[in-house]
Amino acid sequence: MASPDLASPLGIRDRCLMELIFGAGLRISEVCQLGVADAVASTGLLRILGKRGKVRVVPLPGQTSEWVEIYLRDSRPKLVKKASSHLFLGARGGPLSRQSAFLILDSHREQAGLPGPLSPHTLRHTYAVTLLTGGADLRVVQELLGHSSIDTTQVYTQLDLEKVRVSYRKAHPRK
């Protein structure tokens, strides 16, 4: 998360992109099709058009909402070249593609010196595991991820959650 250059509009966009994928558990296709109107950061909610046209509303962590506000205020206006309702824009001002989003994540992974590749799904997976290790109900996680079947969400319970908790606390110590 710390690798983007926050002095540039693209760096702010990249940080916001990573925050949203991780903070809301989004699929890469969902984040790329988000509209500006879907991301009302002041409410702390995000409207997502998921698979098969299903709409869900996901609460955003405070830090994620802040990054959306920063991006909308300081970065997106500098990236707009032609009218677009898409939240995330590429360097040329058009909608950000799935391939570009994947490359952005992987380039920041490389800059941070992490082993790769880092897929958007890895951040989505981490979101789900973080919720479950924090005690979230499996049905709630199913709703937040937009899974139609509980069986899809149940895959995350196959993990040794205590092992995940220890690893998570080691990587993200609280002060």
pLDDT tens for 58-117 read: 889 889 999 999 999 999 999 998 888 999 999 999 999 999 998 998 888 888 888 777
State if pTM tops 0.75.
yes
**Residue 86 annotated as catalytic:** no
Count structural domains, the chain: 1
Given the residues 121, 139, 163, 169, select the one marked as catalytic. 121
What is the rounded average pLDDT for all residues in the chain?
Answer: 82
**Residue 121 annotated as catalytic:** yes
Question: pLDDT tens across 1-57, in order?
Answer: 777 888 999 999 999 999 998 888 888 889 999 999 888 756 788 888 878 788 888
Given the residues 71, 108, 109, 156, select the one marked as catalytic. 156
**Residue 127 annotated as catalytic:** no
**164 lies in some domain:** yes
Question: pLDDT tens across 138-168, in order?
Answer: 777 787 777 666 766 666 666 555 665 666 6
Structure confidence at residue 43 (pLDDT): 79
Q: Which domain holds residue 158?
A: 9-171
CATH code: domain of residue 91: 1.10.443.10
Given the residues 86, 147, 165, 168, select the one marked as catalytic. 147
Quick one: how far is CA 51 from the chain centroid?
16
Structure confidence at residue 165 (pLDDT): 65
